[in-house]
Every structure is written in structure tokens, then in C-alpha cells.
Amino acid sequence: MASTGSRVDPFLAFRFEVRIEGQAAGGFSECGGLQLDTDVQDYAEGGLNDRLHKRPTRTKQANISLRRGIVDRVLWDWYAGLLLGVVQLRSGSIVLKDPTGQQPVARWDFRRAFPCRWTGPELNATQSQVAVESFELAHEGLERSIIRKGWCTCRSTSSR
């Protein structure tokens, strides 16, 4: 009789935290933009007419978008400083946690970020919904860490 191995399920996306400069940046309901795109250049070799060679060129990162209920002014003040010409580059991370919310299972670190978009809440007097603001960060690199049981870490770098 063959023994069965332990089951490994995919990570769930509903428990995460955002940290900027090592500090919790508030509770966010959504986080998007964890995306990298590598441009591909076609190279036509003379005499080779049945295909093109593909070569990777630059990798671009998408802006990180964050959504949360309005709770404080910290992120707004960071953006307001930018409007006054004060560019503060900050690094941070998005940490995905296990279903209990206790153990980190993955982390994406971003470098040299600054706010590039803020969107205020949609206000409607006929509904009793939470006032939600959106915040976008432009950054200069994204690095992913995979954290497994026992804190074994594997790293892959995506910027130069």
C-alpha cells in the first residue's frame, strides 16, 4: 500500500499586512499591482525563416494599489508632501499570512516607493458603507520571499 504525502494547499489571499519603513501602514481591504512585465525583443536571424528568436529586455513593475477604510492621515500626509515638492522615497513590504493570521507565508518587498495616486471615497447618503480610499505607489523594484514552515526562505530577485 502506498503512503500518501502531506497535502499542500495554495495560500489564501485574505490575510495580509502592508508595512512601510518597517511599520504597519494600516489595515487594507485590497492590495493589487504585484506585477512585473518583461519586454521581449524579436530577433530575426538571417537565413532562418521559420521562426524568430525571442530575447528578454527591460522588466517593468506595475504600481502597487492599496484600498482601505479611512482611519488616519499618515498616507495622505505622505502624498501631500509630494504635492509640495518633497519626494520621500520609502521601502516596504506586503506580507501574506496563513489562515490564522499568525505565520507569514510569503512577502513582497518594494524599494524606493512614492505615492503617485490617491482616490477619495465615493460618498452616498443613501447607503451606510465604509468610506474607502485608494492609494497607489510607484516603486523601483519588487522582490519576493517565500516563507515556509520552519522559516525556510527562498529568494528570487526581479530588479537590476
pLDDT by residue (tens digit) across 41-94?
999 999 988 999 999 999 999 999 999 888 788 889 999 999 999 999 999 999
What one-character DSSP code corresponds to residue 13? S
Q: Which helix (H) or strand (E) holds 76?
A: helix 74-83
Structural domains in the chain plus CATH codes? 16-34+54-157 (2.30.110.20)
Q: Does residue 115 register a pLDDT over 50? A: yes
Can you tell me the distance from the alpha carbon of 14 to that of 97, in angstroms, rounded to the nearest whole number?
8
**With bands split at pLDDT 50, 70 and 90, how would you rate the model's confidence at 102?**
confident
CB contact set of 118 (below 8 Å; sequence gap of 6+): 75, 76, 79, 133, 134, 135, 136
Q: Is 21 helix (H, G, I), strand (E, B) or coil?
A: coil
Q: Does residue 17 register a pLDDT over 60? A: yes
In this prediction, residue 148 carries a pLDDT of 61
What end-to-end distance do the CA atoms of the chain give, in Å? Answer: 50
Q: Does residue 97 register a pLDDT over 90? A: no
The overall average pLDDT reported for the chain is 85
Which of the two residues, 4 and 11, has the higher pLDDT score? Answer: 11
| Prediction pTM value | 0.78
Q: Does residue 150 register a pLDDT over 90? A: no
